[in-house]
């Protein structure tokens, strides 16, 4: 189920309007509409947490591991990092297309590649000029 579908389903289960959910989270009603209709996702993990709290669920219900990886990459490395993470997830998913690999094996491979991504980013950080580093 896509992110927007999850939000809409959970919101309706709680008998909330888009405006009520938006007010509870501190967003505009337009943002909630975009999440539900255009399947746009928040860029910050904090928004996921607020949505989960307002809908009475765990954040993990709203985010898959892959989506969380992309959100974290966006927070750490901006839109370029998010694009890289999305591309990586897409390519990894393509490896398993049409095959019969157990889900837990897919998860282990995905986790290993994500860990390799973070290690590579950390190693390559030393080549980034200090004025462009986000965490300093």
User: For 95-117, how does the pLDDT look when each residue is reduced to its tens digit (9 = 90+)?
Assistant: 777 777 787 888 888 889 889 98
pLDDT tens by residue, 48-84: 999 999 999 998 888 877 888 888 888 888 888 889 9
Query: Cα 72 to chain center, whole Å?
Result: 7
Residues 29 and 49 in one domain: yes
pLDDT tens by residue, 9-47: 999 999 999 999 999 999 999 999 999 998 788 888 899
Domain of residue 88: give its range: 65-132
Say which residue, 129 or 6, is predicted with more confidence.
Answer: 6
pLDDT of residue 136: 47
Residues 72 and 122 in one domain: yes
Residues 80 and 21 in one domain: no
pLDDT of residue 128: 65
Residue 44: closest CA among 11, 19, 64, 73: 73
Query: Strand, coil or helix: what is 129?
Result: coil
Residues 27 and 70 in one domain: no
pLDDT of residue 25: 94
pLDDT of residue 12: 95
Residues 71 and 128 in one domain: yes
């Amino acid at each position: 189920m896509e992110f927007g579908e999850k939000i809409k389903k959970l919101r309706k289960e709680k008998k909330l309007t888009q405006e009520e959910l938006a007010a509870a989270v501190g967003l505009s009603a337009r943002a909630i509409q975009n999440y539900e209709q255009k399947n746009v996702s928040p860029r910050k993990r904090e928004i996921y947490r607020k949505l989960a709290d307002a809908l009475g669920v765990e954040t993990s219900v709203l985010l898959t591991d892959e989506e969380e990886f992309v959100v974290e990459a966006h927070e750490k490395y901006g839109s370029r990092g998010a694009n890289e993470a999305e591309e990586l997830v897409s390519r990894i998913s393509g490896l398993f297309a049409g095959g019969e690999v157990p889900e837990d094996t897919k998860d282990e491979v995905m986790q290993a590649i994500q860990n390799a991504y973070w290690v590579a980013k950390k190693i390559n950080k030393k080549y980034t000029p200090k004025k462009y580093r986000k965490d300093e």
